[in-house]
Copies of this chain bind each other. A is one copy, B any other.
């Protein structure tokens, strides 16, 4: 089967690409061709077809159409802050080009063929900030960023393409993922990844939230495993009439203190001495009060969190080890 990963040059996309190459299959079906698409791609090991360029570029779209994926993991997007700063670009990539991708994937199928599976990386940004409490499958969406609004619109339209039998869509609402590389990303949430990197290296770190600040945590490895699972899971196990094919990923809900203690034990460092808490009210409000998540349906479908704080840290810092 032919598998396509868009956004394959990104943090999560690269992890997923690695997982797909290791697995060599999606469910029981062998991957015969694997394509990686992104604006820029690093050197890639193994037999991966490179499609480099902007998603909205007609030539890139022609190459994606020609590839004719059986399964597409669609991760390419203008991220939240950049989208908010450039709404026109967000519309072009996060909405228009994403819908173009859906259309070209569907148009490549002959009559009678099963529709292509599209695993769409949506975001908990569809809920807005602060997150409603609790978050359940029935929680109304109220995006507070154009990024979340475009993600929501694409969820709706992927569900519609699924209803019409054109695609087999599965939208996963991803939380923040750790541990991002230690480069300046401009993301406010970067402190969560920095905490892991710093304590693992025995370095001091300052956090813009309190020890009691509670967030949702997931490693990139587990996120990639969930994306892969989403391609083969049976959406009809969602029996609560939740017909929009969208699921928030199960998460570990942990306080900063719990994560610090876990890191301290695993790496033999004195976390309580290395971490300085300098809570900022606004950051605490958005990143420190993650509510309870009712993820029962997602778990029934086989989607999973990292299992324990120890496993979270291990997978986040040493994926696939």
Contact = CB atoms under 8 A, between A and B. Distances in A.
Interface in A150-202: 150, 152-153, 156-157, 159-160, 163-164
Interface stretch (A138-146, A216-224, A265-273): A138-146
A214 to B, nearest CB: 22
A60 interface: no
A164 B87 contact: yes
Interface string A84-95: 000100010001
A206 interface: no
- Number of this chain's copies in the assembly equals 2
A311 interface: no
A104 to B, nearest CB: 12
Given A87-B164, A164-B87, A164-B146, A244 B140 contact: yes
How big is the A interface, by class?
Answer: 20 to 34
A244 B143 CA distance: 9
A128 to B, nearest CB: 8
A153 B142 contact: no
A31 interface: no
A96 interface: yes
A26 interface: no
A96 B96 CA distance: 8
A120 B51 CA distance: 40
A149 B157 contact: yes
A283 interface: no
Interface in A221-260: 242-244
A241 to B, nearest CB: 8
A157 B150 CA distance: 7
A99 interface: yes
Contacts of A156: 141, 143, 149, 152-153, 156
A27 to B, nearest CB: 28
Nearest to A145: B160
A181 to B, nearest CB: 30
Interface of A: 87, 91, 95-96, 99, 128, 138, 140-144, 146, 149-150, 152-153, 156-157, 159-160, 163-164, 242-244
Q: Which 3 A-B pairs have the closest CB atoms?
A: A149-B160, A153-B153, A152-B156
21 contacts: A91-B99, A95-B157, A96-B96, A138-B138, A138-B140, A140-B140, A142-B159, A142-B243, A142-B244, A143-B156, A144-B163, A146-B164, A149-B156, A149-B157, A149-B159, A149-B160, A150-B157, A152-B153, A152-B156, A153-B156, A153-B157
Given A87-B164, A96-B96, A149-B160, 5 more contacts: A138-B138, A140-B140, A140-B244, A149-B156, A149-B159
